[in-house]
């Protein structure tokens, strides 16, 4: 009887646990239904799931180097060592927007999948890039968006194509 009760409790626990996105063999690009947010991930998940499990910064970055103080993302795409970029009007999904005009980010060289993804936007003056905050102290370019310029995570308007607002893409701590 006791074993049957323990088995029933274990089945309920497993059934109510949040599913962990399945790892895939290589990185791939996922886009939201509105096709205005694109990220590279190594898991089988939606854009919304990626955002809520990952600490991110979204900010506008010039494509080309404007000065020594303002390197462009093209420098990072060609770099073999970390470089810095200025993210203009950055929005963070793990804390309230600080109202910063800009924030310097130390950026790791991107993966080949990210370089391939950004080929679509390299002729633009700049882009709203999505950076993952790494445990290594670096920011990693993981994608781009054409949805909103500045205050990305503060937008409460529900997009009819996605069914969610940008505010719903805030990082969600795992419940223990």
Q: Judge whether 130 lies within some domain.
A: yes
In a domain, 4, yes or no: no
Q: Is residue 147 part of a domain?
A: yes
In a domain, 164, yes or no: yes
Q: Which domain holds residue 141?
A: 20-169
In a domain, 162, yes or no: yes
What is the DSSP annotation of 107-163? EPPPPHHHHHHHGGGTTSSEEEEEEEEPTTS-EEEEEEESS-SS-GGG--PPPTTTS
- Is 8 within a domain? no
Q: What is the pLDDT along the chain (176 residues), one digit of tens a residue?
A: 545 544 444 444 444 445 556 776 789 999 999 999 999 999 999 999 999 999 999 999 998 877 666 777 888 888 889 988 889 999 999 876 566 788 889 999 999 999 999 988 888 888 999 999 999 999 999 999 998 766 899 889 999 999 999 999 999 976 54
Kindly state whether residue 155 falls inside one of the protein's structural domains.
yes
Residue 174, domain member (yes or no)? no
- Give the number of domains in the chain: 1
User: Is the pTM higher than 0.85?
Assistant: no
> What is the sign of the dihedral through the CA atoms of 172, 24, 59 and 82?
positive
pLDDT at 43: 94
């Amino acid at each position: 009887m006791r074993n049957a009760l323990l088995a029933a409790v274990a089945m309920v626990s497993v059934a109510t646990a949040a599913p962990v996105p399945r790892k895939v063999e290589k990185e791939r690009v996922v886009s939201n239904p509105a096709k205005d947010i694109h990220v590279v991930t190594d898991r089988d998940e939606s854009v919304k799931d990626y955002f809520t499990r990952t600490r991110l910064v979204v900010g506008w970055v010039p494509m080309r180097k404007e000065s020594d103080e303002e390197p462009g993302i093209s420098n990072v795409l060609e770099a073999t060592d970390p470089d810095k970029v200025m993210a203009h009007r950055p929005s963070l999904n793990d804390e309230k927007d600080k109202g910063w005009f800009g924030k310097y980010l130390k950026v790791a060289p991107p993966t080949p999948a990210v370089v391939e993804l950004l080929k679509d936007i390299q002729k633009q003056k700049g882009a709203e890039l999505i950076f993952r905050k790494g445990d290594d102290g670096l920011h990693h370019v993981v994608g781009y968006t054409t949805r909103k310029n500045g205050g990305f995570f503060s937008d409460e308007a529900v997009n009819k194509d996605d069914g969610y607002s940008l505010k719903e893409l805030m990082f969600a701590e795992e419940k223990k």
